[in-house]
Amino acid sequence: MGMRDIKRRIKSVNSTKQITNAMKLVSTAKLKRTRDRFERVKPYFETVNETIQGILGSASNIDHQYISEREIKKSLYIVITSDRGLCGGYNINAIKKALEDIEDKEKASFIVIGQRAEGYFSKRNYEIIGEYLHISEKPEYRHAKDIARLALQLYKDGKIDEIKLVYTEFASTISQVPNRLKLLPVSKQDEEQAEEKEFKYVSYEPSPGAVLDYLIPKYIESTIFGALVESAASEQAARRLAMESATDNAEEMIGNLTLSFNQARQAAITNEIIEIVGGAEALK
């Protein structure tokens, strides 16, 4: 590679580095806002979940449509990914988490959030019942409500027999873990956990079943919303990490190219000196 080509290459890589560094800074700012938002909404859906588990633990033999196990003929997967790329393995890891639970694609249907999930499953002819695009970075509660309404209606109509949510947990700024959570039918926690909630002596009016009719849809909505917000935080963390790595790689490439340029320039200077000395010797 000639010196001119090396200089052109350095300029190109430097421009890329400026872009990736800017994207890293943007993702860092978005990550902070999204994490703060997640911390605010987390207590709400945890409280709803504890209340539901309290009812299940204190009221025995409840026969309810959202609790009773069914023969699994078809499963619904709500898969949360991003609308954009450049976030490392964030999207493909969530998609893989859904796929590893599927033995027969004919027995699976999907509600997809994000263009990456929509593109993946539609190209492979999976059944997509609902799609929600351009909401992954800034989800609202109304989005979760719409998704929950669709999923619950399918469950009530008997078109699906279980609902599973696939999202990405925010473990830390450098670690995001794909997770699969069964939403329906609602499973009872083990007895030790149920006793810790201290719901044994609570009376539910008009009945535990009627309370569950109201609470479980709220639980589904709030869990989906929590997963949307947590996935948004994970997306920004993954993108920040990917852009930081890309920026570091660009700096390393610039360093190597600069070294190559300096070596080529030194070789050119040496050749010129040799030619001058050779010419001078020839004139003697």
The residues assigned a catalytic role are: 87
Which residue reads 């002819």 in tokens?
A: 125
> Are the C-beta atoms of 176 and 234 separated by less than 8 Å?
yes
Burial group, residue 81, by CB count within 10 angstroms (0-12, 13-18, 19+): buried
Helices (H), the chain: 3-58, 90-99, 115-123, 141-156, 191-196, 208-283
**Chain position carrying tokens 């590679």:** 1
DSSP three-state, residue 106: helix
Distances (CA, A) of 209 to 69, 104, 119: 16, 34, 40
3-class DSSP assignment, residue 78:
strand
- Rounded-to-integer distance, Cα 51 and Cα 49, Å: 5
What phi and psi values does residue 180 have, to the nearest 5 degrees? -125, 120
The answer to whether 211 touches 58, Cβ cutoff 8 Å, is no
Inter-CA distances, 156 with 60, 106, 127, 255, Å: 23, 20, 19, 62
Q: Tell me which amino acid residue 73 is.
A: K
Tell me the three state secondary structure of residue 109. Answer: strand
Neighbours of 269 (CB within 10 A): 10
Contact between residue 33 and residue 240 where contact means Cβ atoms under 8 Å apart: no
